[in-house]
Amino acid sequence: MKLIVSLEDEESFKLAKKLADYLDGFKLNHILWPHLKYRGWKKKEIFVDFKLWDTTNTVVSVVERLIESSVTMTTISTFNNDVVFDNLQQFKTDIKLLGVTYLTSWTPQEQYIISRATPLLMWEQSLRRIKGFYGLVCSPKDLPDIDNIDFEHNFQRVCPGIGHNNTGQHRTTTPRQAFQLGADYIILGRTVTNSPNPIQTIQNITKEIDESQKVQTTNN
């Protein structure tokens, strides 16, 4: 499982150089993305979480710009129309496209109001739309529903809402729980960036996941 840390402001951005050796990548928001200082983070995932939802020309233009900027991952809202998804297929070898539907900040009530569908039906519709994508963004708590969908593609599961201090998040888990539920990537935020010793925090999380992996291997 890969670890990505979310950088949300200038202070957390300054941590990046110190943390790079202990992580697989960083997630940037629309505020930090223009800085482009991350060009020096070689062989790291650079995940710009735009949740793109717009006209076909706009979405395609933004993705082209991200590729030019050495970004490796970005998110596309599954509420886009089919034409958007058809036009994004040309980029699937240039950038890791992730479908995003059910935000970890949503309550179950908000999910139903927005999607007008049960979580299982919503995921069935979403997975069909992102055919050819690298993966999807979801809470680890969504993975049992996703696992119950008979789908031919092996999507990578990128899971935010991990750890503590997740202000505004409703469907969170620990790193150990995320691993046990089948996450491929976990995104850590304030659990790391607000820690008095962020490197030690990452090392503790890595140890926790390694121990869970050993137990799983032994049981199998």
Give pTM, 2 decimals: 0.87
* Domains in the chain: ranges and CATH: 2-219 (3.20.20.70)
Return left, alpha or beta for 23; rule: phi > 0 is left, psi -120 to 50 is alpha, else beta: beta
For 13-28, what is each residue's pLDDT tens digit? 788 888 999 999 999 8
Q: What does pLDDT average to over the chain?
A: 85
For 167-212, what is each residue's pLDDT tens digit? 556 667 889 999 999 999 999 988 898 899 999 999 999 999 998 8
- Lowest mean pLDDT, pick from 26-35, 100-109, 146-155: 100-109
Higher-confidence residue: 74 or 115? 74
Are the C-beta atoms of 157 and 97 separated by less than 8 Å? no
- Lowest mean pLDDT, pick from 74-83, 85-94, 130-139, 171-180: 171-180
pLDDT at 212: 86
For 117-144, what is each residue's pLDDT tens digit? 677 777 788 888 898 999 999 888 888 8
